[in-house]
Amino acid sequence: MKKILVLNGSPKNENSSTLTVTKAFVDGLIESGEYEVEYVNLSSLNIKPCTGCLSCWGRTAGECVIKNDDIPSFKAKVEEADIFIESYPLFFFGMPGTMKVFTDRMLSMMNTYRGQGAPEDGKSFHGIRNPKPERRFVIISSCAYTEASTIYEPLKMQYDYICGKGEYTFIGVPQLKTLIDLKNEKKITRYLSKFKEAGIEFAKNGKLSKETEDNLLKPPFTESGYKVFLDNFWTEEEEKGKNLK
């Protein structure tokens, strides 16, 4: 069986809205009968922050000097996985801080920086050490905003520089928490079905078509309807706050 490894980077662990979508996508992958999956909550891992010594680049050939935390065993899982999925909420137009701490510790997977200029062809800035071209990397990130086509740009640019354009699959999921909180099971099931379909497509082709990517980015609510909903929600919350005084 091929391996899917999911890193759930939401601080809400099992209650993560993003994870709901990720599970639908994984269900689609698994339907092929070719994959088994392991889910790991980032918060369950003991991860020390990178000390910035850069030994992994030049002195220890891809080995981090920090050995007494969960990164060595988790990195081995990442290297073994056929599909590695990072699942997390968008925080301030980027990844949550805990995910950044994890990402920094993956520096040992990158080639040494020797003063080379930025690649002009969209390739990875450093290049991946010991690349495994058949390994797939998928990022699934949900958020509150509506404009998924623009607000994920800073995050995607970061992955373009790290992995290279086209070397990863990015699935942005706008307005998700509200959809989950409303508990309209019919609407949720209908919405999640497109992620399951995407998983089936990914298992078949090893990538998503542009059409599918654009379809996944479509928010569940209209912009005006969502605005009214949020206005009402926060007005009610403010009133509850006053009542507490």
When asked if residue 17 is in the footprint of ligand FMN (CB under 6 A), the reply is yes
| Least separation in angstroms between CB 170 and ligand FMN | 15
Residue (of 89, 88, 50) closest to 71 by Cα position: 50
Contact 211, 184 (CB under 8 A): no
90 binds ligand FMN (CB under 6 A): yes
Coil, helix or strand at residue 4:
strand
Q: Does 85 bind ligand FMN (CB under 6 A)?
A: no
Nearer to ligand FMN, 17 or 124 (CB): 17
Give residues with Cβ within 8 angstroms of 87, minimum separation 6. 6, 7, 8, 9, 10, 16, 18, 19, 21, 22, 140, 141
| 161 lines the binding site for ligand FMN (CB under 6 A) | no
- Whole-angstrom Cα distance, residue 245 to residue 243? 6
99 binds ligand FMN (CB under 6 A): no
Query: From CA 100, how far away is CA 172, in angstroms rounded?
Result: 18
Contact with ligand FMN (CB under 6 A) among 46, 92, 114, 183: 92
95 binds ligand FMN (CB under 6 A): no
Please report whether residue 12 would count as binding ligand FMN according to CB under 6 A.
Answer: yes
Residue 37 C-beta: closest distance to ligand FMN, Å: 18
Footprint of ligand FMN (CB under 6 A): 10, 12, 16-18, 89-93, 142-145, 151, 176-177
